[in-house]
Structure 1
Amino acid sequence: MKTYRVPELAKKYVGYDMIQEHAVLPDLANVRLRLLYAFLNQQQSLQTHSELYTLVVSLVQLGMDTHDLIDTRQDQRSEKEMRARQLKVLAGDYFSATFYQLLAQSGQIDMIAKISSAVSEVNRLKVNLYVRMRQHKLTADEYLSLSVPIKSTLFHIFSDLLDGTLLRVWPEILNELSLCEALVDELARSKCVDRFDRSWSYWHVMQFATDDERQQLSKHSNDYACIQSLAEKYKVHSQLNAKLLASASKVLAAAGMLESDELKGDLTAIVNRLLLEETDFTPALNETR
């Protein structure tokens, strides 16, 4: 089995001193990347390019995620804040552009077109979500259903390359693992006052709270005690936990349809690592069922 070493390979492109010193970058999307790498390595026709494809996708995704962190507020910033913002813009552009060079050098021109098209679609999905949020025409579950394709669309381009059983289970497993990632992030946001606004928890509270509570949340969006009181009342954490476990179970159930024990093991390890490292859960299942 080939070792997953995409994070090490990506350091060549993300480890510049100026970026590391002045800008905080998002983590690589290792759950989706490990999933992609595992699937590509199971198909003989794709094994030669599995590492290249996964590295390229890691950089494109990192570029988009970095741009998402750019502060768009209009008030005056300090010189340090301005430098960090500028570096995030440049770093995101650099990560997004590097995939052209890597794929062109390998003669993978068709893949350049596929990825470029997927990036355009992701940006369209983001705009749609932002418009809905700005209009406050959104329930918590609608927010989640609009968020997951933003994570998964770039990876869905590989549906055109996979065959047989791999192709049949790829869309479902990718979507459910993307949902797992989103839910883990939403759990973290539910406990962080700086990230609570416009999260799943925010929309859930706004959907079910009284008019007075909605006004309270709007006026005290930076009040930790207020936020956690409403989150506890409307069972935010327990509902997110339940959704996460349900989605993780669906991934493992779909993995049971696979012929490769190696791939089943990879998927189980990915799910268990996600639950164990990012939450207080014990490993989901010791074996695929």
Structure 2
Amino acid sequence: MTRLRINQMANKYLNHDMISLHTELPEFPDGRISLLYTVLSHQPGAASQKELLSLVTSLVQMGLDTHDLVDNKPSSAKSGLLGMRAQQLKVLAGDYFSSRFYHLLSQAGQIDMIRHLSEAVCNINRIKMNLYGKMKQMKLNADEYLHYGAELKSGLFLSFTGFMSGLYERLWPELVERFSRCEVLLQELHKIENSNSLNDSWGVWHIMQEGTEEDRQTVVNHGEDSNILNNMVKKYEIADKLGSLLQQSTDQLQAVLQRLQSDKLIRELQPLIEPFLQATGQHRTTALKELG
């Protein structure tokens, strides 16, 4: 009910004919939005605004994520008119989604929330610049990659700490950060399933950190070759390592949930953790089959 409601409200802005025809959009941040909506439902001072706050946050996040899809690397395959139009529309779509949150919050008189989310966007952009700088200089390690990823996913949602009261105010930042870390790890596991998206993945940075000098040079010189990267990922057992990290992070997330001291809220949040539990279960099953 919650997810359907927020998705329906957001689709009013996301399903634009021009955007749908000429470019793709990132995945809707369903998990984090549902997390925000559900916890706000239990805050007396914010419950009445939970739909509006969840909607505008989803639009800002979609704006940021759409801008991340813009490919600034020159490519003959993308240099045609259609490719150029798709790139331009990603920029315009991201701007459009972001602008909607100003309009909706100003209409509702939520001026302070405009300031909080705007400051969060500035901080997220600063984090991105630091991340891209380290990646370009090849000074990033796997742990930092994971940390940056969780920071970028949690940035907007940490803005709502002030809306929480008592115990929730203390636990909200940890809850969001743990949840975001699980989302990053699940995303990285999905990259392994799609071998064409291994470049700039956790696995690559792990190899750059732990691999032999020969393998590190192979990644640097042939990082665009999906077959080579796929072989490297298998050699260094990246899927197993990610599965273990996700299991650990999911356990930590569940421990935070148990500290919420509300059985009702815990029950409502439990479905949001199921994708992480299923992924770790599938990972263990696959690992056992390989051992057998």
Partner of 2:263: 261
Answer whether contact 1:184 1:279 (CA < 8 A) is retained: no
What root-mean-square deviation, in Å, do the aligned CA atoms of Structure 1 and Structure 2 show? 1.8
Contact 2:246 2:276 in 1 (8 A): no
- SS of equivalent residue, structure 1 residue 258: coil
1:89 match: 91
Asked if 1:47 corresponds to 2:43, the answer is no
Instruction: Report the CA distance between 1:219 and its aligned residue.
Output: 3.1
| Structure 1 residue 228, shift from structure 2 partner | 2.2
Match of 1:194 among 193, 196, 212: 196
More helix by share: 2
1:247 to 237, 246, 249: 249
Partner of 1:287: none
1:135 aligns with 2:143: no
Q: How does 1:170-189 map to 2 (within 5 A)?
A: 170-189=172-191
Shift of 1:123: 0.2
Counterpart in the other structure of 1:217: 219
Checking the alignment, whether the CA contact within 8 Å between 1:191 and 1:228 is kept in structure 2 is: no
Contact 1:29 1:61 in 2 (8 A): yes
Are the structure 2 counterparts of residues 147 and 223 from structure 1 closer, same or farther at C-alpha, using a change threshold of 3 Å? same
Which deviates more, 158-167 or 68-77? 68-77
Is 2:13 the counterpart of 1:13?
yes
Aligned residues of 2:247 and 2:280 also touching (Cα < 8 A) = no
Aligned partners of 1:37, 1:80: CA distance in 2, in Å? 38
Alignment partners' CA distance in 1, 2:30 and 2:140: 29
Give, in whole Å, the separation in 2 of the partners of 1:238 and 1:118.
34
Q: Is the contact between residue 152 and residue 178 of structure 1 (CA under 8 Å) also seen in structure 2?
A: yes
**Stretches of structure 1 lacking an aligned partner (at least 5 in a row):** 283-289
* Residues 183 and 240 in structure 1, CA contact (< 8 A), matched pair in contact too: yes
Describe the superposition over 1:150-207 as per-residue Cα deviations: whole angstroms up to 9, x where unpaired: 1111100111110112112211111000001111111122343332112111000111
Q: Is structure 2 residue 59 aligned with structure 1 residue 59?
A: yes
Report the counterpart of residue 69 of structure 2 in structure 1: 69
Instruction: Check conservation: 2:198, 2:230, Cα contact below 8 A.
Output: no
Cα distance change, pair 274–51 in 1 and its aligned pair in 2 (3 A): farther
User: What's the CA shift for 1:120?
Assistant: 0.3
The residue number in structure 2 matching 1:232 is 234
CA distance in 2, matches of 1:120, 1:81: 29
Q: Rate the CA distance shift 1:128–1:89 in 2: closer, same or farther, 3 A.
A: same
Helix, strand or coil for the counterpart of 1:267? helix
Could you give the per-residue CA deviations for residues 18-67 of structure 1, whole angstroms, max 9, x where no partner exists?
11111100011111111100110001211110010000000000000000
On the 8 A contact 2:196/2:226 being kept in 1, the answer is: no
Q: 1:169 aligns with which of 161, 171, 177?
A: 171
> 1:274 and 1:28, CA in 2 relative to 1: closer, same or farther beyond 3 A?
farther
Distance in 2, Cα, partners of 1:233 & 1:7? 40
Displacement, 1:274?
Answer: 4.3
TM-score when normalising by structure 2: 0.91
Note the C-alpha offset of 1:275. Answer: 4.0
SS of match in other structure, 1:116: helix
Give the structure-1-normalised TM-score.
0.92
Aligned residues: 281
Q: Which moved more, 1:173-182 or 1:253-262?
A: 253-262
CA contact (8 A) 1:275 1:281 kept: no
**1:133: how far off?**
0.7
